[in-house]
Amino acid sequence: MVGMSLLRTAAAFTARLNPLKRTCQSSNLLSRTVVRSEQVVVRYGSHGKRMFIIKPTDFYDRRFLHLLKYYILLAGIPVAALVTFVNIFIGESELAEIPEGYEPEHWEYYKHPITRWIARTFYDSPVKDYEKMMALIQMEAEKAEMRQLQLEVRRHMREKGDGPWFQIQTLDKNLIDHSPKSSPDN
């Protein structure tokens, strides 16, 4: 009796260790019962046996990838369609010699139509940018020259003292009241 219970627990333990390799169930061998075979679920069709596969959740990963694809394609597909239609229906420009007496506009120096549109709509012409930069440089140069001159003039006026700067105004002589000085020992 004790041996049978020991054997039963050992069989149960081995069954737990390796559930796939249960060739002969201990319940059949030792207790002389028969497994009822009509209970097996048989639904083959083309899928095989239905399994409940236990694995960690992939909900968050799949949700992330779905949202990534969605947001990328939300802007990506219109942009790709736009670029495709521009390339097919408008097409790139051809290189040509500058005709005599003609000054091309600043966007006519680019090849692709979208670049030309950006240069025409948003950007100033490079000539204008050049002139703006030269104007800034000229203003800064004039300011620097003015400052240098001012320092030079300061130096001269301090040294010689005959200029309008560095003169401390004193009171007018006529405002001095000489009446207390007329009688000594007052």
Partner 1 sequence: MPKDHDKDVYPEPPSRTPVEDRQSSLPNPALILSKLFYYSVDLPVTAFRDIVEGIQSGKRSHYYHQKFRRVPELTQCQEGDYVCYYEAEMQWRRDYKVDQEIVKVIQERLRACQQREGPSYRQNCYKELQQFEQVSKAFQSRYGDLGAYASARKCLMKQKERMMAEQQQA
Contacting residues toward partner 1, per CB under 8 A = 88-91, 93-98, 104, 108-111, 113, 116, 130, 133-134, 137-138, 140-141
Tokens, residue 23: 């060739």
Select 8 or 92, whichever has its Cβ closest to partner 1.
92
Amino acid at 70: Y
Closest approach, Cβ 106 to partner 1, in A, equals 9
Closest approach, Cβ 109 to partner 1, in A, equals 5
Select 2 or 95, whichever has its Cβ closest to partner 1.
95
Q: How far, rounded to the nearest angstrom, does the alpha carbon of residue 114 sit from its chain's CA centroid?
A: 23
Select 7 or 141, whichever has its Cβ closest to partner 1.
141
Count of Cβ atoms closer than 10 Å to residue 116 Cβ: 19
Closest approach, Cβ 170 to partner 1, in A, equals 42
Query: What distance in Å separates the CA atoms of residue 125 and residue 112, rounded to the nearest whole number?
Result: 17
Tokens, residue 55: 């694995």
